[in-house]
Amino acid sequence: MFYDPEVPERAYHVGYVAQSQTPYHNLNPGYRVYTIDGHYEDSSYRVLDTENWVLDLDEANENDNPRFYQLYSAKEAYGMTDLLPASWNNLVDQMKEPNSTVFDEFFKYYTKDARPYREEGCSEDCKSFILCRLVSSDTSDKSHCDGL
């Protein structure tokens, strides 16, 4: 998330980071498909939705039949009407609540539903670290991490 320097509580941009296609650090390989509003006069070129596809390595190794499947669509998974910065900021607000089921789903998607992370889970320190990374586009400024 990027926040307005003049109005620090206003999210004004989202930086999308595609997932790794390699099974780095106990993760399933995956890729992301972006749906963009574009290629017509006066289009916004905003991200309208993202689909995240993964390959379950445990399943592929067990069945010797690798297949990618859609893990989630951002709009559908989080019940968002749009992917504007304010909507993502509202999602972070929901995730920071204690015992947030929204965060639990986010963590599942964040870890590409990889078995090691499902088994390990995410402690409060883990949750704070992840949420802080979401709201800190500038690593030298952790002011948005307060209260997470």
**pLDDT per residue rounded down to tens, the chain (148 residues):** 999 989 999 999 999 988 888 877 789 999 999 999 998 999 999 999 999 999 999 999 999 889 999 999 999 999 999 999 999 999 999 999 999 999 999 999 999 999 999 999 999 999 999 999 999 987 788 888 987 7
pLDDT at 15: 93
Q: Which residues contact 132 (CB under 8 A, 6 or more apart)?
A: 142, 144, 145, 148
Q: What angle do CA 124, 97, 125 make, to 5 degrees?
A: 15
Question: Contact, 1 vs 89, CB < 8 A?
Answer: yes
Maximum pairwise Cα distance, the chain = 55
pTM recorded for the entire structure? 0.90
